[in-house]
Amino acid sequence: MSTPAVAADRLRARSRSRWRRRRTIAVLLAPWAIGFGVFFAYPLIASAYYSFTHYDLLSSPHWIGLRNYEYLFNSDPQVWSAVRNTLWLIAFMVPAQVLFALGLALLLSRARHGVGALRTIFYLPALAPIVAATLGFVYLFNPANGPVNTILGALGIEGPLWLNGASTAKPTLVLLALWSVGTTLIIFLAAVLDVPTHLLESAELDGAGPWRRFIHVTLPTISPVLLFAIVIGVIDALQYFTQAYVAAGVAQGGQAGESAKQLGYPEGATLFYPIYLYEQAFSRFNMGYASAMSILMLIVALALTMLILRNARRWVHYQGETR
């Protein structure tokens, strides 16, 4: 039977030990917490605050309530044009990238000779700096004297206007995205090579052809990687900036790094949401409005990610998962 003094000592010792443990955890977490606070939480809080202000970067922000959001939803037609273009990317560029990378990965997984060289060749474009690659594409697809239209011309075909045409500018950017799909390709290739051989052999013994083996064995096995590629692709599409900014400026006759004289040249076809956001923040100095746009983008990104993840429960299978 312990006296009250001993009990108090034990309590103090336990409390000290608990405090030491918490301090250690706090110290270990500090680098992450500082990074999170400075580079994520603070910008997020500041953006949310600025979205309710008129702020031109030079004078103090003035609180204007919901006027930025009212302008965004009711008075700014360009923002909706930018939203439509960005949704187009999500609807067409993301599936195209995923399918192209997956297709290439399946082909590469079957290659018997020169596998290393082929992998390197297909991955190499992903290492090219974005601006340089985009400039290269503008040159290749110049409708007047670019090599692509010159070859088409030699075959008796009048090539399209590519980046200079309102209906062809976005598809041309998709071609650029497909060319630099190397990183996704490597991830898919690793996943495809990781599909258990015994499952494929069992399916084959059961009479399943290549297509059924792909649908019922390969696809479920690589589904987590597929989900990863889709989520990352959607987030990339929401942030799509450099290629369109450079391509529009140069295709219109400017220099790299110069914005196009017309926003989203040609005819607004390449005016994507981040480009318009940048224009508002750093060209028109409407930081308050740009902040409201960024908050909307955050909400949309979160909603889309949640939607994909919720849907994913139906088709993504994790190895070792019990149901």
Partner 1 sequence: MHVRVLAATVLAAGAILVAGCGGSSSSSGSSGGDIPTFNPSEKVSITYWVPFTGGELGFVKKVVRGFEMAHPNVRVNVVGNINDEKIIAASRSGNVPDAALSFTTDNTGVFCKDGTFLNLGPAIKRDGIDLGNFPPAQQHYTEFNGVRCVLPAMADVYGLYYNKQMLAQAGIAAPPKTISELTEDAKKLTVRSGSSITRAGFTPYIGFYENSGAHFGPLWGAQWQQPNGKSAIASDPGWAQMAEWVKELVDYYGHSSLVRFQAGAGEEFSSSNAFQNEKLAMQIDGEWRTALIKDEAPKLQYGTAPMPVADGKSELYGGGYTTGNITGIPKGAAHPAAAWELIKYLATEVKPQVELMEDLGNVPTWIPALDQAKKVASPQFQTFLAIFANPHTTTTPITASGEASQKTLENYLEKYQSGNGGNLQQGLAQVASQIDAQEAQATAGNVP
Contacts with partner 1 by CB under 8 A lie at 37, 41-42, 45-46, 49, 53-62, 64, 67-68, 71, 75-78, 142-145, 158, 161, 164-166, 251-253, 255, 261-268, 282-286, 288-289
As measured in angstroms, the least distance from the Cβ of 90 to partner 1 is 23
Nearer to partner 1, 164 or 221 (CB): 164
CB of 77 to partner 1, least distance (A): 7
Q: How far is the CB of 202 from partner 1 (least distance, A)?
A: 54
Give least dist CB 173 to partner 1, A.
Answer: 17
Question: Is 30 or 107 the residue whose CB approaches partner 1 more closely?
Answer: 30
Query: Which residues neighbour 169 within 8 Å (Cβ) at sequence distance 6 or greater?
Result: 162, 163, 247, 248, 251, 266, 269, 270
SS3 sequence of 145-168: CCHHHHHHHHCCCCCCCHHHCCCC
Rounded to a whole number of angstroms, the minimum distance from the CB of residue 259 to partner 1 is: 10
Q: In the complex, what is the shortest distance from the CB of residue 300 to partner 1, in angstroms, rounded to a whole number?
A: 22
Give the 3-state DSSP-derived string for the chain, with helices as H, strands as E and coil as C: CCCHHHHHHHHHHHHHHHHHHHHHHHHHHHHHHHHHHHHHHHHHHHHHHHCCEECCCCCCCEECCCHHHHHHHHHCHHHHHHHHHHHHHHHHHHHHHHHHHHHHHHHHHHCCCCHHHHHHHHHHHHHCCHHHHHHHHHHHCCCCCCHHHHHHHHCCCCCCCHHHCCCCHHHHHHHHHHHCCHHHHHHHHHHHHCCCHHHHHHHHHCCCCHHHHHHHHHHHHHHHHHHHHHHHHHHHHHCCCHHHHHHHHHHCCCCCCCCCCCCCCCCCCCCCHHHHHHHHHHHCCCHHHHHHHHHHHHHHHHHHHHHHHHHHHHHCCCCCCCC
Nearer to partner 1 (CB atom), residue 1 or residue 144: 144
Evaluate the CA torsion angle 122, 123, 125, 130 in order and state its sign: positive
Cβ atoms of 270 and 173 closer than 8 Å: yes
Residue 136 is encoded by which pair of tokens? 């290269």
Q: Cβ of residue 306: shortest distance to partner 1, in angstroms?
A: 26
Least Å distance, CB 27 to partner 1, is 16
Output 179 or 278, the one with its CB closest to partner 1: 278
Taking the least distance from each CB to partner 1, the nearer of 233 and 266 is 266
C-beta of 46 vs 121, nearer to partner 1: 46
CB of 262 to partner 1, least distance (A): 5
Minimum CB distance to partner 1 smaller for 37 or for 210? 37
Task: State which residue, 138 or 176, has the beta carbon closest to partner 1.
Answer: 138
Q: Which is nearer to partner 1, 3 or 74 (CB)?
A: 74
